[in-house]
């Protein structure tokens, strides 16, 4: 969306809800603005066909994944890594791999206090810049996967994989994320009878 005086300084969810309503007055938009800190916060969310996570709080993807695997909620992560637009994997509990099935991001080393302190210091001083030329492709490509999944058409690109578009050289990259029977989050789930998408 172009910069507009009514959008500057407003919460993203409020602006998005207003813009969706302005484009289609028949659409029902439920606005829930809250900070997700723990599983209890996630338990207050209304059941939806799909959750799209676009957040960068430490541990949020693991928290949302654990909640969604437990409740059977389909979800998709959308983000950026520097100038790489990233989306996926689309997690369908019992059908696809989940966020914890494969190591998709660097994680803290448990018990390494010196490394934990160093990571905390770096993260407190540095945040990757957010800009439209990376965010918009991530949102557009993730939206297309959401529409394909919910509409039951086409090929969903983020099934069992995390996809990245390198914006500085227009190259696609992917990390495979198939189901892992040893996964601590979803390994014990029986494969769903739902056909794969």
**pLDDT digits 0-9 by tens, 108-151:** 556 678 877 887 787 777 666 677 888 889 999 999 999 999 99
Q: What is the pLDDT of residue 2?
A: 53
Contacts 24+ apart (CB under 8 A), 189-193: 189/69, 189/93, 189/94, 190/94, 191/94, 191/95, 192/92, 192/93, 192/94, 192/95
CB-CB contact of 185 with 65 (8 Å): yes
The residue with tokens 């099935």 is 101
Lowest mean pLDDT of 4-13, 14-23, 30-39, 177-186, name the range.
Answer: 4-13
**Average pLDDT taken over every residue of the chain:** 84
pLDDT tens digit sequence for 143-159: 999 999 999 999 999 99
In whole angstroms, what separates CA 91 from the centre of its chain? 10
Q: What is the pLDDT of residue 132?
A: 80
For the residues 66-89, what does the mean pLDDT come to? 92
Helices (H) and strands (E) in the chain, counts: 5, 5
Q: What percent of the chain has pLDDT over 90?
A: 37
pLDDT tens digit sequence for 51-64: 999 887 778 899 99
Residue 104: pLDDT band by 50, 70, 90 thresholds?
A: confident
Q: What is the pLDDT of residue 110?
A: 64
Q: Which tops the pLDDT comparison, 57 or 168?
A: 168
Q: What is the pLDDT of residue 112?
A: 75
- Indicate whether 9 pLDDT > 60: yes
- Indicate whether 194 pLDDT > 50: no
For the residues 70-85, what does the mean pLDDT come to? 91
Cα separation, 52 vs 143, whole angstroms: 9
Cα separation, 18 vs 31, whole angstroms: 10
For the residues 12-29, what does the mean pLDDT come to? 85
Q: C-alpha distances in angstroms, 7 versus 15, 21, 158, 173?
A: 6, 15, 31, 33
Q: What is the pLDDT of residue 95?
A: 93
């Amino acid at each position: 969306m172009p910069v507009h005086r009514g959008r500057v300084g407003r919460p993203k969810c409020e602006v998005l809800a207003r813009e969706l309503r302005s484009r289609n007055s028949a659409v029902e938009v439920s606005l829930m603005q809250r900070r997700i800190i723990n599983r209890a916060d996630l338990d207050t969310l209304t059941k939806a066909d799909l959750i799209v996570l676009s957040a960068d709080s430490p541990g949020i993807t693991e928290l949302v994944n654990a909640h969604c695997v437990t409740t059977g909620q389909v979800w998709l992560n959308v983000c950026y890594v520097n100038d790489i637009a990233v989306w996926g994997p689309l997690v369908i509990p019992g059908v696809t791999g989940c966020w914890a099935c494969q190591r998709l991001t660097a994680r803290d080393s448990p018990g390494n206090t010196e490394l934990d302190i160093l990571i905390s210091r770096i993260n407190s001083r540095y945040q990757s810049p957010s800009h439209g030329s990376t965010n918009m492709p991530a949102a557009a490509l993730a939206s297309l996967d959401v529409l394909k999944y919910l509409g039951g058409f086409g090929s969903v690109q983020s099934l069992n994989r995390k996809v990245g578009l390198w914006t500085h050289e227009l190259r696609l990259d992917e990390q495979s994320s198939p189901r892992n029977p040893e996964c601590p989050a979803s390994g014990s789930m029986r494969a769903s009878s739902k056909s794969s998408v």
